[in-house]
Structure 1
Amino acid sequence: MTIEINKIAHLTGHQAAIYALAPGTQDHFIFSGSVDCLVVQWNLQTYQYDKIIGRFATPLYAICHIREKQWLLTGGSDGTVHIMDLENNQEIKTLDSHSAQVFNISYSIQTNSIYTLGGDGILAVYSMDSLTLIKLIHLSEDKVRHLDFNYKTSEIAITSGKGNIHILDLNTLLKKMVFPGHQLSSNIARFCPDGKLLLTGGKDGFLNIWDVGSYELITSIQAHEWAIYDIVYNPEATLFATASRDKSIKIWDSKTLELIEIIDRATFDGHQFSVNKLMWSTANDYLISASDDRTIMIWHIQIISTA
C-alpha cells in the first residue's frame, strides 16, 4: 500500500502538554484537554481555535463528549470527573469515586453507562440516566489507563500499569480473563472494527496483536523506541496509527499489519516531543495528534495505491 501524507494545520494555544482529544458538537469541531486545566474547541474547517469550553482546578488527563446528551466529561489529576451540559454551559454533576488521576472516560449507549478508570486501579461504572454509581471494581494495585468495547463479543478490554490486560463481560462486568500484555505497563487497547483482533501497546514499545476469544498472541512487533500511548483506526478501517513517546506517529496497513510510513520531526515536520493522543476524524478523514509540545497537528492521509 502507498499513501500520501500532508500536514494540514498546526494548532497552538495550550500552555502545557495535551493528553486528551474528543469529537466536538459537530463533525468539524474537536475538543482538547490539557495539563493547563483548559478544554478548548477547535474548528477543522478554519483550522483555528474556536472557544474555551471550560477552565478547571486541576490538570486534565481525560475528556469525553457524549454527543447524544451534549455532555462533556473531564477527568483531572484529583480523581474527580466533572460533567458539563454544553447546551446550558453549566456543570450538572461531579463524580468522585477515584482517589487518584482519572486517565480514561468512556461511555456506551448499548449499556447506557459511563466508565472511568483511575490511577487508583479502579473501574467505576455509572448510570447515564441517573448519574449514580452502579459498580466499583478494583482491577489492579497500579493504575488502569484505557478501555475499549467489543460489541461483537460483548466484552471490554482494560489496560493496567502492571502490564496485564483485563477482559470483562460488557453486560455483567464479570471478569472473563486476565493475561500479561506487556512488560512494565500496558497503555492502550484497541479492538479492530470487525471485533476479531485486539491491538495493544505498552511501555515496552511493542505493538501486540491478540486473537479475540482465546486471546492468544498472534504477533508482537517492536513498533516504537519508547512507550506506545495510543492506537486508532481510520474510518474505513484500512489503516491504523500508533502514537509514541518517541515523538513519532506510525501508519500501518490494517490488513497486513505492515508499517507504511513514519511521521516525525525529520520527515513531515511532526511533533517535537511525546505524541500522547490520536483521533481519526470523520471530517475529511483527518488524523489528529496531540503532544507534550503543547500543540495539535492535523494530517490528511490518502491511500494512493494498493498492492
Structure 2
Amino acid sequence: MYTIDIALSATLTGHQNPIFSLAKSSHPSHIFSAGNDKGVVEWDLEAGKFKRILCSVPASVYAMELLEERSILVIGLRNGEIWCVDIDKQILVRKMSTERGAVFALKSIPEKGELIAIGEEGVAYVWSLENFDLLYRFRVSTTTVRTIESYPGGNQVAFGDKDGYIHLYDVAEFKAVEKKKIHSMPVTALAASELYLYSGGRDAQLFQLTQKDLSIAQHLTAHMFTVYRILVHPQEAILATISRDKSIKIWERSSLALLKNVSVDRGFDAHRLSINTGMWFNNQLITAGDDKLIKVWNVTFQEK
C-alpha cells in the first residue's frame, strides 16, 4: 500500500476551447494538446510554457498517438481524417481517412508495425507504420467505439463500445477472441497492466477484468459521472482515473483501494469543469478538460 502526496506544479493556459487529447513528444520535456481549437499545441513542461502550434487541422481532435522512433504524431479528427505529422520538420507526412464518422481512438502496435484507428462507425482500420498503407479493415461493433487498449506485449487488443461491450481481438490476424457486456452504459476508458484490463464507463463504474476471458475480478463506483481515462502508472503499482465529475482519483492497482481524491471540493486548485484527458509524464500527472486548462501535478509515493 502507498501513501501519496500530490501538488499542483503548473497550470498551462492558451486553449480557447475544450481539450480532448494529450500526447507525449519525441522531445523529452514536451507534450502536445488538442481539442476543439482545430490546432495541435506543443508545450515545454520544463519551462512551464507554450512552445509552438505544431499544425492547424480542419476539425476537432479526439485522439493522438506518438510514433516515437519516427518522431511522428498521429492525429485523429472529428471529420474522419488521420494526419501523420513529422514533429521535427513540422510537415504533414501522410493523410488517411475512415469511410465515415469521427476517429475517437488510435493505438500503435510496434511489435507488429501497425496502427489501429476506430471511431463513430465501429469499424477498425489498420495501417502499416512503415508506409501508412491500409492493411486491414474489419467491423468490431455495430455502434460507436471510443477506446482501444493493447495488452503488454502487443498480442491482443481490446475495444470498448457504446453499448457497454468490450471486444477482445488477437492481433496476429485480428480475429475475435471474446466479447462481453461489462457496462450498463458506453465504455469510455480502457487500460491494461501486466495482470489486468481496467474498464471505465459512462455509468461511472471501474472494472478490473482478467485479461484472458474478461471475467470480473473487482468493480466499484469510481466517480459520480463518466470515467474518461484510466491511467496506469508506468512504474508504480497505482492507476489514476479522471472524470466528468471534475475529480482525479488515484487507486492501488491490485486492490483498487482509493489512495487520493483530488478536486476543488477537497481543497485543491483543480479543474472546475469536466476532465477529459490525462497522461503520466514520469511522476507528473497531466490533466486537461472543458475548462481549457492543462494542469501539471507533482506526485510523490511512499510505500507503507
Flag whether TM exceeds 0.5 (same fold).
yes
Structure 1 partner of 2:288: 290
Post-superposition Cα deviations, 1:85-136, rounded to whole Å, max 9, x if no partner, equal 2232211211112411111112121010011111111111001112111111
Deviations 1:194-227 (A, max 9, x none): 2x21100000000011112132111110111101
Aligned AA (1:237):
E
The one-letter amino acid paired with 2:264 is R
> SS at 2:88's partner residue?
coil
The answer on whether the counterparts of 1:116 and 1:123 sit within 8 Å (CA) in structure 2 is yes
Q: Which whole-Å CA distance do the structure 1 matches of 2:45 and 2:187 have between them?
A: 32
Moved more, 251-260 or 14-23: 251-260
Cα distance in structure 1, aligned partners of 2:154 and 2:35 = 34
1:151 counterpart = 2:152 = yes
The equivalent of 2:183 in structure 1 is 182
User: Which residue number corresponds to residue 97 of structure 1?
Assistant: 98
Q: What is the TM-score normalised by the length of structure 2? A: 0.96
Mapped partners of 2:131, 2:234: distance in 1: 32
Any conservation in 2 of the 1:98–1:122 contact (CA below 8 Å)?
A: no
Matches of 2:299 and 2:49 in 1, distance apart?
Answer: 20
| 2:299 is the counterpart of 1:301 | yes
Write the distance in 1 (CA, Å) between the matches of 2:301 and 2:40.
Answer: 33
- 2:204 maps to which residue? 205
Question: Closer, same or farther in 2 for the Cα pair 1:75/1:214, shift >3 Å?
Answer: closer
Counterpart residue number, 1:262: 261
Percent pairwise identity: 27
The 8 Å contact of residues 140 and 162 in structure 1, kept in 2 or not, is answered as no
CA contact 1:235–1:281 (8 Å) conserved in 2: no
Task: Tell me the number of residue pairs that the alignment of Structure 1 and Structure 2 aligns.
Answer: 302
CA drift at 1:54: 0.7
CA–CA separation in structure 1 for the residues paired with 2:52 and 2:153: 38
Question: Partner of 1:2 in structure 2?
Answer: 3
Matched, 1:109 2:107: no
After the TM superposition, which parts of structure 1 deviate over 4 Å for at least 4 consecutive aligned residues? none
Tell me which residue corresponds to 2:280: 280
TM-score normalised over the length of structure 1 = 0.95
After superposing the two structures, state which structure 1 stretch, 139-148 or 202-211, moved more: 139-148
The CA deviation string for residues 217-269 of structure 1, in whole angstroms up to 9 with x for no partner, is 11110111101010012221321100111111101111321001111112211
1:74-153 alignment, distance < 5 Å: 74-152=75-153
Distance (whole Å) between structure 1 residues aligned to residue 86 and residue 3 of structure 2? 43
Per-residue CA deviations over 1:49-90 (Å, capped at 9, x if unaligned) read: 111101111111111111111111111111111111223221
Tell me, in whole angstroms, the C-alpha distance in 2 between the residues paired with 1:211 and 1:114. 25
Secondary structure in 1 matching 2:108:
strand
Cα separation, partners in 2 of 1:153 and 1:80, compared to 1, 3 Å: closer
CA RMSD of aligned residues (A): 1.2
Aligned residue for 1:68, secondary structure, equals helix
The corresponding residue for 2:230 is 231
* CA distance in structure 2 between the partners assigned to 1:140 and 1:214 by the alignment: 18
Tell me, yes or no, if the aligned pair for 1:15 and 1:294 is still in contact at 8 Å.
yes
Counterpart amino acid of residue 246 in structure 2: K
- CA shift for structure 1 position 304: 3.3
Which moved further from structure 2: 150-159 or 77-86? 150-159
Q: Which SS does the other structure have where 2:22 is aligned? A: strand
CA contact (8 A) 1:211 1:217 kept: yes
Mapping for residues 44-55 of structure 1, pairs under 5 Å: 44-55=45-56
CA–CA distance in 2 between the matches of 1:210 and 1:304?
27
- Mapped contact 2:38–2:60 kept (Cα < 8 A): yes
Q: Distance in 2 between matches of 1:101 and 1:67?
A: 24
Q: Which SS does the other structure have where 2:183 is aligned?
A: coil
After superposition, give the CA deviation of every residue in 1:127-175 in whole Å (9 maximum; x if it has no partner): 1112111111111222111111113471101111111000000111101
**Is 255-264 or 159-168 further displaced after alignment?**
255-264
Q: Which residue is equivalent to 2:214?
A: 215
